[in-house]
Amino acid sequence: AQKITQTQPGMFVQEKEAVTLDCTYDTSDQSYGLFWYKQPSSGEMIFLIYQGSYDEQNATEGRYSLNFQKARKSANLVISASQLGDSAMYFCAMREGFGAGGTSYGKLTFGQGTILTVHP
Amino acid sequence: EPEVTQTPSHQVTQMGQEVILRCVPISNHLYFYWYRQILGQKVEFLVSFYNNEISEKSEIFDDQFSVERPDGSNFTLKIRSTKLEDSAMYFCASGSGSLNEKLFFGSGTQLSVL
């Protein structure tokens, strides 16, 4: 089974509008972390935002916020006031079982990614 | 912000040749990783390295692959007898081992096997 699922291969948004990129995850661990990375056409991986499984508040970082619904195992990324420079591939990732007797050794498991295109 | 450095940025090789991809992780990090991304696809975990040994590896990381930390700074991925399907972007990453800390990724090495 996929540990991280991003069901939207591509999304389009108008500049200055908000957009939500979906991510669902599968884990039996109680302690885990969820991450979003942005990959522009240049290829580098840029960290955007982190949500811990025990965090009660949704994470926010500037125009990025994470809509964390633990019971639904979803961690959607919300980008407000989209900019042309937001056009990129976005990856959701999970770190599980680490630091609590787990064996993942801190690795991240990535979803398939969503290509976001911002139109002027 | 500290950086993970990867060299070369592009590598072209003939099928069957050996390649070594190099990485300089962030100096105080303890955990090192290699990931692979075939064009347009997701980022796939290859291997993690801790305390001078492989701590975890994926099914992709078969006998063709090896990793090494030859000195206190470099972390290398060796691919023996490259195949066409090894063509991909290879990312090195490092982390301190904290659950809530991001992994720092290098800019990647684009490997093309002809």
**DSSP secondary structure, B71-99, as one string:** SSS-EEEEESS--GGG-EEEEEEEE-S-T
Assigned token pair, B23? 């990485």
Q: Say yes or no to pLDDT of B109 above 90.
A: yes
Asked if A34 and A49 touch (Cβ cutoff 8 Å), the reply is: no
Q: In this complex, which of A43, A47, A103 lies closest to B56 when CB atoms are compared?
A: A103
Mean pLDDT for chain A overall: 91
Q: Say yes or no to pLDDT of A98 above 90.
A: no
Angle at B6 between CA B4 and CA B7, to 5 degrees: 155
pLDDT reported for residue A97 = 67
Q: Say yes or no to pLDDT of A2 above 80.
A: no
CA–CA gap between residue A94 and residue A57 (Å, rounded): 18
Model confidence at A1, in pLDDT bands (50, 70, 90)? low
Q: Say yes or no to pLDDT of A100 above 60.
A: no
Q: Which residues, 6 or more positions from B39, have their beta carbon under 8 angstroms from its beta carbon?
A: B87, B88, B89
Test the B interface: residue of A64, A66, A108 with most B CBs within 10 Å = A108
- Residues in chain B closer than 8 A to A43 (CB atoms): 89, 107-108, 110
- Residues in chain A closer than 8 A to B99 (CB atoms): 31-33, 52, 95, 98-100, 106
Model confidence at A99, in pLDDT bands (50, 70, 90)? very low
Asked if A19 and A11 touch (Cβ cutoff 8 Å), the reply is: yes
Q: Say yes or no to pLDDT of B112 above 90.
A: yes
CA–CA gap between residue A17 and residue B99 (Å, rounded): 33
Lowest mean pLDDT among B26-30, B44-48, B108-112: B26-30
Q: Say yes or no to pLDDT of A23 above 50.
A: yes
Q: Which pLDDT tens digit goes with each residue over A26-85?
A: 998 888 899 999 999 999 999 999 999 998 899 999 999 999 999 999 999 999 999 999
Residue with tokens 């991809």: B21
pLDDT reported for residue A31 = 85
| More confident call, B14 vs A98 | B14
